[in-house]
Structure 1
Amino acid sequence: MNNHEIDFEIHGDDMQFVEVELDPNETVIAEAGSLMMMDDEIKMETIFGDGSSSKSSGIMGKLMGAGKRVLTGESLFMTAFTNEGIGKKHVSFASPYPGKIIPLDLSEIDGKLICQKDAFLAAAKGVSVGIEFQKKIGTGFFGGEGFIMQKLEGDGMSFIHAGGTIYQRDLTPGETIRVDTGCLVAMTGNVDYQIEYIGGIKTALFGGEGLFFATLQGPGTVWVQSLPFSRLASRVFSAMPERGGSKGEGSIAGGLFDILGGDRK
């Protein structure tokens, strides 16, 4: 094992958090702002990049690792949590929006996972958080998740999060499924990922499903989410009063206030 070996437990249903158990001198890395709580004697340190680069790589290696994170829209820095006590200690990380946390042992999926650029939550120290360039330029322009996706590499535990219900689909060699680009959460490195045009101008204008979808071909494993955060945010935004939504939507009293022009401040 090149990564730190960590134990964990996931709590909750729709608003989950993961509790990581650290032995003395074990470390877990996480996205800034994901911490929920931690025991005493756990040292929290901001690190440049993901901390997976060896000391021999020097400043250039660290700059390259951090630069990859910038390309995916993430911060230059991550946070490392290290148990500096004697016994076992715990640190917990929470999902940023309703959904599920998916624990993945990279050693069981050939050491590589490709995921949405904002799906990563935490991982054992030593897991490399980089970028994955798609094979075709069309994926970048029309894929919905951008030309660059995140790539997690190593042989340790990693935790990713997604919205709504998570569905895991194991694809046999040559088996193909089509997925809304926003609903794609992650896939193993051996899955072939392409973008296809839905076709038909009427479908494009009035179908409400976007112009393109992802075509995923096995062998490999795919994780799909039922409620992408972008879809949830879009519905909330469209329901805002200044966008034409009702102030009292779902409420009889609220509707009465709207009719009478009342102010509920």
Structure 2
Amino acid sequence: MQAEIKGSTMPVLEVQLGPGEYVVTPHGELSWMSGNIQMSQTMSGGGPGNGGGFMGAIKRVMGGGSLFLTQYQAQGSAGLVAFASKVPGHIVPVDLAPGRSVMVHRHGWLAGTPGITPSVGFQQSIRGGLWGGDGFLLQKLEGQGRAWIELSGELTTYTLAPGQTMLAHPGHVGMFDQSVQFSMTRIPGIANKIFGQDGFLLVALTGPGQIWLQSMPLPNLAHSLAPYLPAQGGENVEAAGVGGLIGGMLR
């Protein structure tokens, strides 16, 4: 198996599979593939040490994933399968092994080799505001193999020393080593309709370990695109002018 990440702003993960080799994805993330790739669904990713079955699938759903994984296997000869990023950003390869796992934001896991086990990592409800009740969810990826993670926007990494702490907005937390301790921290004095009833929450990440922070959280992207999306009646707010803007606000 050979994998290559192509492109820059909207990267594509291209995987060359030998006969019988396969990769798994959480949501059927296919972009294109050669004619001899066979697709199937499974509750576990297969491979040595990647158990789970029904209970593993339930844990995966609790972590924001799907009940079934999609498997892409080359039949008879070598084949190709490709997975394109959904938003501008980066695709990051991470090698996992016993004793080394990562925590990933809920939509981050793009694909993996046999042996990768996803499960629930953490859940925190965040009511209202820009989050729309979606909350802060993390998936835990462990096992033996390579996982490819999709992170949105520009990417900044830090290696935290033992006891060193970084405070980050929940949406900017893309991934971090499991050795990094984390907790939700509320900033006092800031609680309004923008940030929701829970106030302004940050994630405290404390080393040792590496963290990956993303510059463009999906909730922020959706919020910035909202003025250009069709409002009730099929007109977007920008095109409707001042009257449309006021009408949109009243609605």
Q: What whole-Å deviation, never above 9, does each CA across 1:69-123 have from its counterpart, x for those lacking one?
A: 221232211111112223x32211111222211111124x943011111111100
* Structure 1 match to 2:219: 230
CA distance in 2, matches of 1:211, 1:238: 24
Q: What whole-Å deviation, never above 9, does each CA across 1:113-166 have from its counterpart, x for those lacking one?
A: 111111111000111111224xxxxx7245977475211112211011121111
Task: Name the SS of the counterpart of 1:85 in structure 2.
Answer: coil
Name which of structure 1's ranges 90-99 and 170-179 shifts more when overlaid on structure 2: 90-99
* Structure 2 match to 1:140: 124
Amino acid at match of 1:25: G
Name which of structure 1's ranges 139-148 and 162-171 shifts more when overlaid on structure 2: 139-148
* Structure 2 match to 1:184: 173
In the comparison of the two structures, how many residue pairs are matched? 238
Task: Name the SS of the counterpart of 2:192 in structure 1.
Answer: helix
Q: Would you say the 8 A contact 1:52–1:128 is kept in 2?
A: no
* Structure 1 match to 2:80: 90
1:105 to 95, 98, 101: 95
Q: CA RMSD of the aligned region, Å? A: 3.3
Gaps of 5+ in 2: 245-251
Larger Rg: 1
Shift of 1:240: 3.8
Amino acid at match of 2:8: D
Q: Would you say the 8 A contact 1:72–1:117 is kept in 2?
A: yes
Gaps of 5+ in 1: 1-5, 134-138, 259-265
2:148 to 148, 152, 159: 159
Q: Would you say the 8 A contact 1:167–1:223 is kept in 2?
A: yes
CA distance in 2, matches of 1:131, 1:207: 28
- Going from structure 1 to structure 2, the CA distance change for 1:197 and 1:247 (only over 3 Å counts) comes to same
CA distance in 2, matches of 1:54, 1:173: 31
Q: Would you say the 8 A contact 2:136–2:170 is kept in 1?
A: no
- Going from structure 1 to structure 2, the CA distance change for 1:92 and 1:181 (only over 3 Å counts) comes to same
* Structure 1 match to 2:107: 118
1:205 to 180, 192, 214: 192
TM-score by length of structure 1 reads 0.78
CA distance in 2, matches of 1:169, 1:54: 30
CA distance in 1, matches of 2:193, 2:75: 58
Q: What whole-Å deviation, never above 9, does each CA across 1:215-255 have from its counterpart, x for those lacking one?
A: 10100010111001111112222444638xx9484x8xx86
CA distance in 1, matches of 2:95, 2:183: 26
* Structure 2 match to 1:32: 27
2:40 paired with 1:45: yes
